[in-house]
Amino acid sequence: MSTKIKDAEKILQKIRGRPLTFGQLIHSVRLCDEITQIELADKLKISRAHLCDIEKGRRLVSAQRAAQFAKVLGYSIESFVAQALEDQLRQMGLALKITIEAA
């Protein structure tokens, strides 16, 4: 996990008091990179509405799509994939933390 995302995740969890979601991660990245939803959606090749749904937690992202987003944005693939998988597990009622290492 990149230090930048790891630090941001700790800060956000402390402020919010609950685990970070993939949508919150994407929202935080967008704000830190100082780009609009439209600009980020264009980079990710998705609609602004789709991005909004991801940021608000109305749509989950697959591990494959999370990896694509990380590549496009220049962030840690492991961090993005782990966060997406944790969201899927939480939706199933499983409060588990995922740790991913490169093979």
Q: What is the CATH number of the domain that holds 29?
A: 1.10.260.40
- The amino acid occupying position 68 is Q
pLDDT of 84 reads 97
Which whole number is the average pLDDT over 68-91?
94
In a domain, residue 103? The reply is no
pLDDT of 89 reads 96
SS3 content of the chain, % helix, strand, coil (to 5): 65, 0, 35
Q: How many whole angstroms separate alpha carbon 80 and alpha carbon 92?
A: 19
In a domain, residue 96? The reply is no
In a domain, residue 97? The reply is no
Which range of residues forms the domain containing residue 56?
3-91
2-53 residue pLDDT tens: 556 666 666 655 655 667 899 999 998 998 889 999 999 999 999 999 999 9
